Structure 1
Amino acid sequence: MFEVREKPEMVERALLVRLSFNRREEDEDISLLQELEELVTTLGIGVAELQLAHSRSMHRKYLCGTGKAAEIVEFARAHECDCIVFDNQLAPSQQREWEELSHICVIDREEVILDIFAQRAQTKEARLQVDLARMQYALPRMARMWGHLDREGGGGAGGGGAARGMGEQQIEVDRRLARKRIDRTKRELEAVRTQRATRRKDREKNATPHAAIVGYTNAGKSTLLNTLSGADIMAKDMLFATLDTTTRSIELPDGQTLLLTDTVGFVRNLPHRLVEAFKATLEEAVLADFLIHVLDANDPRAIEFFETTMNVLNELGAEGKPVITVLNKVDAIEDTSILASLSDRFPNTICLSAREGTGIDELLHKCAEMLGDRVRRRTYRIPQSRGDISALLHTDAKVISTEYEGNDVLVTAIVPSIIAGRLEQFICE
């Protein structure tokens, strides 16, 4: 994809800044600034200092006043920083003003997240989603570093000028090409979504129940899926380790099959264009029968993270879904009152350690309870002459055991409600 500008191969020292406009929200601002530090560190950028800068009101040029802007730049120079990263969202014009003032690279939280996503995307769908989000972010910023291309094209015959037309600047040509690429990426992404919808219809046709594992980034979602299914999904102690959805099949204690999908993690102030770009990924949560919401119980911001995740899910249309709340990483907690407080705060709570495997059985039984109205465990007495009924059970239900008694077959099976009515006359009391 095209890039907005030339960036240094590696930024070595970054100053992280959050502009605060309300002193009563200082604790929240500090928390967001600390989260930005985790995001920047994930990119491999060294963090020199964190600075929470207060401003009485928002200004058009620098978002803060000129005096405060000069202080921040001087602070960055004093600490020999080669980049300023703002936790606030900067308009393209504000980003240009900051770079002209400081003469160093200036980026915001959204660009940091986009760069992380670009590094982690693996599948075609994830790469397309990242490319689309980055191009939409970059388009209004193209003029910032391309001032040397502001020359006008001539209207004479031949050459690039003729291709551009009278008075058309090179940057206008590139913007037009960028818009074409955005449109092409959208079409490719739509094709991938169509393929995903086809696969989903196949699952729905088989009436296989489906749960989505959701939660804040680095809460332990991939580790939980690995433990439950024996999968080998990358699970590391880093933000956004998972960008691609992974679905695995597991067997619940009552014998029925459940599909589990690991989804991309959430962060506070997730850029809206990323929510839009990753809708195809996140809609697995919208279409699931229920959600498994994983929280890092060892993180003091667990309640904030829960609310962040639910707000994004509600925006996607997943409000009202049944939820199992998993308090993960309990092996790292020494104060049991923390767990008690969190368990009281959230309904339908399971305490476990995905890494150690403790509490997994309880979670599996809870999943079976969530699907209790979808299936029934029944034993049927079927005459051997009714091979059609035996075939139906083996095709659309999960057969647990088969025994023969005279001319009858005794079949114990997990039966979905969609075919239970056709089998009522064969129920063996």
Structure 2
Amino acid sequence: MRSHTDVAPEFDQHPELTGGDLELAERHALRRVAGLSTELTDVTEVEYRQLRLERVVLVGVWTEGGATDADNSLAELAQLAETAGSQVLDGVIQRRSRPDPATFVGRGKVEELRGIVSSVGADTVICDGELSPSQLRNLEQQIKIKVIDRTALILDIFAQHAKSREGKAQVELAQLEYLLPRLRGWGEALSRQSGGAGGGSGGGVGLRGPGETKLETDRRRINSRIARLRREIKHMKTARDTKRANRARGAVPHVAIAGYTNAGKSSLLNRLTGAGVLVENALFATLDPTTRRAQTPDGRQYVLSDTVGFVRHLPHQIVEAFRSTLEEVAAADLVVHVVDGAHPDPQEQVRAVREVLAEVGADALPELLVVNKSDAADAETVLRLKGLWPDAVFASARSGTGIAEVRSAVEARLPRPPVELELTVPYESGGLVHQIRTHGEVLESRHTEDGTWLRVRVDEALAATLRAGT
């Protein structure tokens, strides 16, 4: 996997390693185990036909948009493949009104593909789309090597990068739901019987016969595991909802950082809060949400959450499995939408992210568009994007340019407490002033003989406390 660290310069001054540094070093030290398995020996480990991605050829079907769109999509697939640990040898695109229902690409292109695979020595073909079980089977039979689709590739990357218990459970659920309709065996593997035998020994009267095939056993065990994972994730969601309710009761504004994968969300979080989370120049480097506290210059606290990156055609299994995590975005007071300004098609990135946000009910939230990596984009692109998004903030999490403007824009968009009060807090009750500054907004203040006079905005609960105590 080709990657490099993207740690902000401010961390270079400190020789001690952050948690993100350690996680990155650990990730690079691990070598993926290559192998093929057509059956589940232990469903708890999800040992299903593990992906062996080493030397691959990419295949795309261009159905709409221009040639540049098709090239960008295949280039992104190449990035995904490299992130999964493979070497991309070649790529082909076919122009069709729709993918071939039998083989994804047309028959002529299958022949051409078989020739390319043979000449470059590839062991895997990756298709830029989600293939049906029959398309996968037909292509493998004709090309004679393993075929996977974009969805399986993304799921494999998620499986490599998930760290938390919740993240691992969500990824496993998505993998199993993808696998279930695609269970298929090699040769006689799935025709083995595990029930009674017709000859004498077996299940007894009325139970002798063909029994249960290996395929049926696997399906039954997968369904059982899926049900268990859903229960586990539901319990984790309850804990997440409790934390969210506590934040709401404490009137702490919540800012969610969302955006396309590898747009620089974690780098931005590090810049804004000094969080020290993993930063890597790779797709889907962050899967487990990170929440950090920050505060405005006048002492008002708020929280910032980094979220899983989005991508065009994000598999629906991932959206469903990560729904409880993505709902963190829907419950936010503000979405900081990070865009990669140096990407060939940032507009498509914005469209894909907003599509997923709409899917989880976060499309109506206030949004601050931050065009990151603006120092890596050419001047003409920056001017064009400024014309396209006049309210966006242009910044670079790597160099620190524009970070102060991002912080100011975030703080200006934080929700304002609903109740405005004027009160004098006695000097001996200084704790109340700290409480107001932490959870409310101080509009004016001055010292008087009787105490500190304040004009403030606070929530209903704090307003009641202040009225009772002053």
Q: TM-score, normalised by structure 2?
A: 0.81
Give the corresponding residue for 1:398.
Answer: 438
Does the Cα contact within 8 Å between 2:61 and 2:99 map onto a contact in 1?
no
Give the corresponding residue for 2:354.
Answer: 310
- Following the alignment from structure 2 to structure 1, what is the Cα–Cα distance between the partners of residues 305 and 188? 46
After TM superposition, give the deviation of residue 152 of structure 1 in Å: 3.2
Question: What per-residue deviation string (whole Å, max 9, x for no partner) do you get for residues 295-323 of structure 1?
Answer: 11122311110111011101111122111
- Following the alignment from structure 2 to structure 1, what is the Cα–Cα distance between the partners of residues 402 and 158? 32
Give the corresponding residue for 1:15.
Answer: 57
Give the corresponding residue for 2:289.
Answer: 245
Give the corresponding residue for 1:332.
Answer: 376
Give the corresponding residue for 2:251.
Answer: 207
After TM superposition, give the deviation of residue 331 of structure 1 in Å: 2.2
After TM superposition, give the deviation of residue 154 of structure 1 in Å: 4.5
Is the counterpart of residue 346 in structure 1 residue 389 in structure 2?
Answer: yes
Give the corresponding residue for 2:240.
Answer: 196
- Following the alignment from structure 1 to structure 2, what is the Cα–Cα distance between the partners of residues 424 and 347? 41
Give the corresponding residue for 1:102.
Answer: 143
Residues 180, 154 of structure 1: CA spacing in aligned structure 2 closer, same or farther, 3 A cutoff?
A: closer
Give the corresponding residue for 1:301.
Answer: 345
- Following the alignment from structure 1 to structure 2, what is the Cα–Cα distance between the partners of residues 88 and 226? 34
Residues 56, 393 of structure 1: CA spacing in aligned structure 2 closer, same or farther, 3 A cutoff?
A: closer
Give the corresponding residue for 2:164.
Answer: 123
After TM superposition, give the deviation of residue 354 of structure 1 in Å: 1.2
User: Any residues of structure 2 matched to 1:261-300 within 5 Å, and which?
Assistant: 261-300=305-344
* Structure 1 runs not aligned, ≥5 long: none
The letter of the residue matching 1:344 is G
- Following the alignment from structure 1 to structure 2, what is the Cα–Cα distance between the partners of residues 61 and 248? 49
Residues 418, 292 of structure 1: CA spacing in aligned structure 2 closer, same or farther, 3 A cutoff?
A: same
Is the counterpart of residue 187 in structure 1 residue 231 in structure 2?
Answer: yes
Give the corresponding residue for 1:42.
Answer: 83
- Following the alignment from structure 1 to structure 2, what is the Cα–Cα distance between the partners of residues 162 and 343? 74
More divergent stretch after superposition (142-151 vs 243-252): 142-151
User: Any residues of structure 2 matched to 1:74-153 within 5 Å, and which?
Assistant: 74-145=115-186, 147-153=188-194
- Following the alignment from structure 2 to structure 1, what is the Cα–Cα distance between the partners of residues 131 and 154? 14
After TM superposition, give the deviation of residue 161 of structure 1 in Å: 6.0
After TM superposition, give the deviation of residue 5 of structure 1 in Å: 2.1
Identity %: 36
Is the counterpart of residue 359 in structure 1 residue 399 in structure 2?
Answer: no
The letter of the residue matching 1:72 is L
After TM superposition, give the deviation of residue 256 of structure 1 in Å: 1.0
Give the corresponding residue for 2:9.
Answer: none
> Aligned to 1:398, what secondary structure does the other structure show?
helix
- Following the alignment from structure 1 to structure 2, what is the Cα–Cα distance between the partners of residues 381 and 59? 75
Does the Cα contact within 8 Å between 1:214 and 1:262 map onto a contact in 2?
yes
- Following the alignment from structure 1 to structure 2, what is the Cα–Cα distance between the partners of residues 108 and 157? 41
Q: TM-score, normalised by structure 1?
A: 0.88
- Following the alignment from structure 1 to structure 2, what is the Cα–Cα distance between the partners of residues 239 and 384? 54
Does the Cα contact within 8 Å between 1:397 and 1:413 map onto a contact in 2?
no
Residues 153, 182 of structure 1: CA spacing in aligned structure 2 closer, same or farther, 3 A cutoff?
A: same
Does the Cα contact within 8 Å between 1:255 and 1:414 map onto a contact in 2?
no
Does the Cα contact within 8 Å between 2:419 and 2:460 map onto a contact in 1?
no
After TM superposition, give the deviation of residue 237 of structure 1 in Å: 1.0
After TM superposition, give the deviation of residue 325 of structure 1 in Å: 0.8
> Aligned to 1:155, what secondary structure does the other structure show?
coil
> Aligned to 2:451, what secondary structure does the other structure show?
strand
Question: What per-residue deviation string (whole Å, max 9, x for no partner) do you get for residues 204-233 of structure 1?
Answer: 110100100011111110001011111110
The letter of the residue matching 2:384 is S
Does the Cα contact within 8 Å between 1:381 and 1:410 map onto a contact in 2?
yes
User: Any residues of structure 2 matched to 1:230-241 within 5 Å, and which?
Assistant: 230-241=274-285
Residues 46, 321 of structure 1: CA spacing in aligned structure 2 closer, same or farther, 3 A cutoff?
A: same
* Structure 2 runs not aligned, ≥5 long: 1-44
Give the corresponding residue for 1:368.
Answer: 411
Give the corresponding residue for 1:32.
Answer: 73
More divergent stretch after superposition (374-383 vs 212-221): 374-383
Match of residue 270, structure 2, among 226, 238, 242: 226
Does the Cα contact within 8 Å between 1:256 and 1:414 map onto a contact in 2?
no
Does the Cα contact within 8 Å between 2:176 and 2:222 map onto a contact in 1?
yes
Residues 380, 344 of structure 1: CA spacing in aligned structure 2 closer, same or farther, 3 A cutoff?
A: farther
